[in-house]
């Protein structure tokens, strides 16, 4: 059972029973269709795996209510597991606790930066109260300058904002702290 706000990191995965760990390892291959360098584990979307005698239950928490990627993610998880298992694959959506970028590991944030997406800054519980009035300082993923301006709060996907770097003049995506 995953407890609230727990990051799924290496230590947690190593503590799991062998059968469950195997499923987690397989699902590392399922990428977020909108950010293909990130796995569903990196994103914190994959919350829990329950291995039963005749089925495997995969528990997923969607990012945003209207995230169009969720159907593709479900299909990809099923497809990937079907390569290794003949038993039933059950996909369960868990809404509570609501998905948060706090579940992203530092490794995952590093991979976001490598994909030239500026990773979320700060903790969601602090930032939620500030979202109406304040903008955090965001680093440009290209030249690492902190002299950047927000172009649009809503970006290419629901989870990102669009920024512009005043130093290298490049536009870039910022993954909102949510």
Partner 1 sequence: MNFENNPNKNLIEYCLRLADDRLILGQRLAELCGHAPMLEEDIAITNTSLDLIGQATSIYEYAAELMNDGKTADDLVFFRGERHFKNVLLSEQDNTDFAYITIRQFLFDSFDLLFQRELSKSSDERLSSIAAKSYKESLYHFRHTKLWVLRLGDGTEESNAKINDALEYLWMYSGELFEMDEVSKSLVISNTAPNLDLLKSEWLELVNIILTEANLPKQTLDTFMQTGGRNGRHTEYLGHILAEMQYIPRAYPNSQW
Residues of the shown chain interacting with partner 1 in the complex, contacts defined by CB under 8 A: 64-68, 95-99, 128, 131-132, 151-156, 158, 162, 178
Which is closer to partner 1, CB of 52 or CB of 92?
92
Which is closer to partner 1, CB of 12 or CB of 154?
154
CB of 58 to partner 1, least distance (A): 19
CB of 147 to partner 1, least distance (A): 20
Which is closer to partner 1, CB of 23 or CB of 67?
67
Separation between Cα atoms, residue 167 and residue 145, nearest integer Å: 6
Which is closer to partner 1, CB of 116 or CB of 125?
125
Separation between Cα atoms, residue 92 and residue 94, nearest integer Å: 6
Which is closer to partner 1, CB of 47 or CB of 111?
47
Residues 6+ apart with CB under 8 A from 15: none
Question: Tokens 């597991």 — which residue?
Answer: 81
Q: Is the dihedral of CA 26, 27, 33, 39 positive or negative?
A: negative
CB of 162 to partner 1, least distance (A): 7
CB of 133 to partner 1, least distance (A): 8
By the 8 A CB rule, do 45 and 69 touch? no
Separation between Cα atoms, residue 4 and residue 99, nearest integer Å: 10
CB of 68 to partner 1, least distance (A): 7
Sequence-ordered alpha helix ranges (H) in the chain = 10-14, 18-27, 70-82, 106-114, 124-130
């Amino acid at each position: 059972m995953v407890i609230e706000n727990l990051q799924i990191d290496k230590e947690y995965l190593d503590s799991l029973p062998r059968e469950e760990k195997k499923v987690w390892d397989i699902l590392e291959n399922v990428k977020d269709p909108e950010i293909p360098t990130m796995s569903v584990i990196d994103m914190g979307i994959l919350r829990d795996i329950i291995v039963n005698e005749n089925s495997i239950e995969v528990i997923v928490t969607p990012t945003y209510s209207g995230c169009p990627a969720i159907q593709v993610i479900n299909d990809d998880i099923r497809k990937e597991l079907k390569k290794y298992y003949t038993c039933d694959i059950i996909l369960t959506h868990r809404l509570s606790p609501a998905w948060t970028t706090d579940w992203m590991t530092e490794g995952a944030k590093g991979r976001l930066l490598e994909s030239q997406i500026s990773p979320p800054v700060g903790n969601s519980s602090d930032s939620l109260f500030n979202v109406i009035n304040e903008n955090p300082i965001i680093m440009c993923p290209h030249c690492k300058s902190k002299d950047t301006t927000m172009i649009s709060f809503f970006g290419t996907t629901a989870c990102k904002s669009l920024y512009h770097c005043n130093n290298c003049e490049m536009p870039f995506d910022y993954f909102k702290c949510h």
